[in-house]
Amino acid sequence: MMTDEKVVLQGSRRSEQRIGVLCIGMDSSSRESLDVLVVQTPGAYVVDNVDWHITPREAMKMLEPYQHRICVIDFEDGTEKGCRVAQRLRDGCDSSLGIFAAAGGSDPEQIMAAMRSGCSEYLVKPFQPERISHALAHVAARPQGKSGDLVKGRIVTVMGAKGGTGATSLALHLALNLVQRHGQKCLLVDEHLAFGDASLYLGLGRHQYSFYELVHNTDRLDADLLRGFLLRHPSGLDVLDSPEAIDGFPQPSPEAIEHTLSFLGENYQFVIIDCPPGLTEESCAAIRQSDRLAIVITPELPAIRNAIRSIEYLTSMHYSADSIDIVLNRHSKKSALSDHEVEAALHRPIAVRIPNNYGEIVNAINAGTPIEFGHRSDLPAAFDYWADRLTGSEGDIPRANKGSRGWFGIFGSRVEG
């Protein structure tokens, strides 16, 4: 997403006049022409030009900074395709979004189809200044209801700083906690291209279709298609499995992964991604689409070093540092590295501590039966705390997550909390 530098504003009217325009499937010359005309309206700006696979969640996130939001869909490549995009945005976004059609002619049948699919304006190319100005003014004059109400799902990626940190086990227990204790509609995505274990840990059989096969069907994503890909755990947790075959299908594009995850975020309150270690194209696509990233470490130098490098890389690529949580697995006061040493090395606090109940976890994995959250133990209490953090319902901090009240701040200085 580009910055606001080109926006033409008029002093104190800035906050009242912000209009964001998102082009969809538009040719470059039309996009440039529209850009020139849009900025003639004070506070209006063309945000970007995206492809046909844009989802409501992605569109609303890109237009979130703007008070008035508009998507302009180019119908030049076909009325049916344009109508599908308009209907998807109409059904998945709230009434604050204005949907425009654009085409190179005034075919009455195409105009009627565009209007029926949810478009409120039909713009003829080449664009005319008066027509663009009138269309923007019409949207800006509409009463604004609550925005964003239909795009609620949160996507959380759980990634091990290195192999063997227990990220898969943590991801599935977090997802189960959100379902069982918080009553959230939750999906667990096994994003491993091969050797994924989430369905095995949960005691579920393998599914004939995987997450990546869903990714290869982004052009026909809908609720009916999704249902055919899901495994269902007795708790109510839905699971998208990893591929059974190794190199069984072409490498997915990062864009297709992002679109698929955005679609899933529109259908669940929480999407928990079990992400393999390493910043591959697939994992980076998941992280870009995530609201939060949990980097799982163990109290050992290789894991801490990899976490440092991952954080440095992601923040250099403009992923928000505030959206990254450090989850310390196998936490013990007897560890060779203390919490203070870990936090000093990472220049950030440990967000969640999972106690070192290794035997209990291994027994649960081997039995295909996750740990129970009802009994009194530091282990389920740690997952309670983690899920509470994500849902905003933190209660008392469990013993495993108390530590001392001092920690090393983000710039390495000691901060007392």
- Examine residue 381 and state whether it is found in any structural domain, yes or no: yes
Considering the domain architecture, whether residues 336 and 188 belong to the same structural domain is answered as yes
**Same domain as 126, residue 265:** no
Enclosing domain of residue 294 = 154-416
Displacement of CA 185 from its chain's centroid (Å) = 16
Q: Is 3 among the domain residues?
A: no
User: Mind listing the pLDDT tens digit of every residue in the chain (417 residues)?
Assistant: 333 333 332 333 334 458 999 999 999 999 999 999 999 999 999 999 998 888 888 898 899 889 999 999 999 988 999 999 999 898 888 788 999 999 998 899 999 999 999 999 999 999 999 999 999 998 888 766 554 444 468 999 999 999 999 999 999 999 999 999 999 999 999 999 988 999 999 989 889 899 999 999 887 888 899 999 999 999 999 999 999 877 766 778 888 999 899 899 989 999 999 999 999 999 999 999 999 999 999 999 999 999 999 999 999 988 889 999 999 999 988 888 999 999 999 999 999 999 988 777 777 767 767 777 665 678 889 999 999 999 987 655 555 565 433 333 322 333 333
| pTM for this entry | 0.73
Place of tokens 């086990």: 169
Residue type at position 46: V
Separation CA 358–CA 370 (nearest Å): 13
Is there a single domain that holds both residue 309 and residue 372? yes
Distance of CA 142 to the CA centre of its chain: 30
Residues 270 and 368 in one domain: yes
Residue 4 is assigned to a structural domain of this protein: no
For residue 398, give every residue at least 6 positions away whose Cβ sits within 8 Å of its Cβ, in sequence order, or none.
378, 381, 382, 384, 385
* Residue given tokens 């022409």 in the structure block: 33
| Count of the separate structural domains present in the chain | 2
CA-to-CA distance for 114 and 177, rounded, in angstroms? Answer: 44
For residues 117 and 91, give the distance between their C-alpha atoms in angstroms, rounded to a whole number.
Answer: 10
Query: What are the strands, taking DSSP E only, across 179-308?
Result: 186-190, 230-232, 238-240, 270-275, 292-297
Residue 2 within any structural domain of the chain: no
